[in-house]
A and B are shown apart, each in its own frame.
Chain A
Amino acid sequence: MISLTSPVETRAHRWPAGAKLAALCGATVVLFSQESLGFHLAVFLGCLAVYRLPGRRFFAAGMRGLRVLWPFVALVLVWHLVIGAMVEGAVVVLRLLSAVALANLVTMTTKLSAMIEVVRWLAAPLRRLGVNTRALEIGIALVVRFTPTLADKGAQLTQSWAARSPRKPSWKIVMPFTVLAIDDAEHLAEALKARGGLNQ
């Protein structure tokens, strides 16, 4: 499965994932503690500049990631226009855009393997306490492996529906779809057990 990591290799791709995540946490806390319009305007312009650094393709992909926010941006701006508090509205909108832009930036510059490494590192104290964290690691791998498989089966279900009915597929396909997932899970559990299970 393709993750949202940008194929455009940036310098930040080589920075340690843990540091990027920690910096992101810090930046988000600061963003939500500040209220001045000048500050938020500067941060947002700074974000745009950073997105532009690796080139046009990276910038376009980054802007696509922010597109889902437009309904909220429009809503807040209209709302604040009506109640006559435009400055406050602009702060809310800019903060929202910067917070999501920064978070997406970490996602776009960090490989899935590096992210999983951070999860492993975070889980290390649990391991020392004797908790079996192998289940978590296998669980992540299983979801990555089975999402496309299940999506394929779902597509087959909608096709077989379309072959038999002039109407559009309805919610009724969710039931056989879930049965397929349950059957896969039971087979998978047997296979895991047969290979020695989780306690290795």
Chain B
Amino acid sequence: MERNLALIALFAALIAALGLIPKFTLAFGVPITAQSLGIMLCGTVLGSRRGAMAVLLFLLLLALGLPLLAGGRGGLGLFVSPSAGFLFGWPVAAFVTGFIVEKWRGGSLAMVAGIASIIGGILVLYVFGVAGLAIILKKSAYEAALLVAAFIPGDIIKAVLAGMITAALARARPQSVLSRA
């Protein structure tokens, strides 16, 4: 119980801290907002329920008015902005990602976690994100999808990284990778 709470709270803080550390760039100069990588890691490391709870705790603190989103953003306004769909999709994305890692026991963890991140952290997340954009900006789902398509290649790279990082964590701290515990 205490351990679950501590891991959930620390991963919520990790998502926030990933938005505060200096940005780093990928091989091709693609800037990467590490926070969505944090969402994927919540699922792949903590598993479905605890991963989703860590993301929910992070969102609650955002709503309470703490500037935890990359760029020092926060507050209730985020939840009615055009990108609100992505925020609402985050806990679901972490849940689905974690669920796949929990159930799919064959194969290497790096591959499984990477594919789970693509399904949960991209496919599921973008359904919410595109729906949010379509509702707030009054566009069709197709038009809204065009607006965000440019971010998908970067997110696929992040999903691959999430897989590699998860596998490395499983070697460094095997008892703490709860999705496989």
Interface residues of A (CB under 8 A from B): 1-5, 24, 28, 65, 68-69, 72, 75-76, 79, 88, 92, 96, 99-101, 103-104, 106-108, 110, 112, 115-116, 119, 135, 138-140, 142-144, 146-147, 149-151, 153-155, 157-158, 168-171, 173-175, 177-179, 181-186, 188-189, 192-193, 197-199
Contacts and interface: CB of A to CB of B under 8 A. Distances in A.
Given A107-B77, A112-B64, A171-B165, 18 more contacts: A24-B76, A69-B81, A75-B137, A99-B77, A119-B64, A139-B9, A140-B57, A143-B61, A146-B13, A150-B13, A151-B16, A151-B17, A168-B25, A171-B37, A179-B172, A182-B176, A185-B7, A185-B10
Contacts of A150: 10, 13-14, 16-17
B100 interface: no
A99 B80 contact: yes
A189 B77 CA distance: 34
B34 A174 contact: yes
Contacts of B1: 135, 197-199
A53 B156 CA distance: 47
B149 interface: no
B67 A147 contact: no
A143 B34 contact: no
Q: Which 3 A-B pairs have the closest CB atoms?
A: A107-B75, A154-B21, A142-B9
A103 B79 contact: yes
A189 B6 contact: yes
A72 B75 contact: no
A100 B6 contact: no
B68 interface: yes
Contacts of A173: 21, 24
Interface in B1-33: 1-3, 5-14, 16-18, 20-22, 24-26, 32
Interface string B154-181: 0000000100010011001100100000
Contacts of A154: 17-18, 20-21
Contact of B67 (A4, A76, A92, A155): A4
Interface string B60-86: 110011111001011111111110000
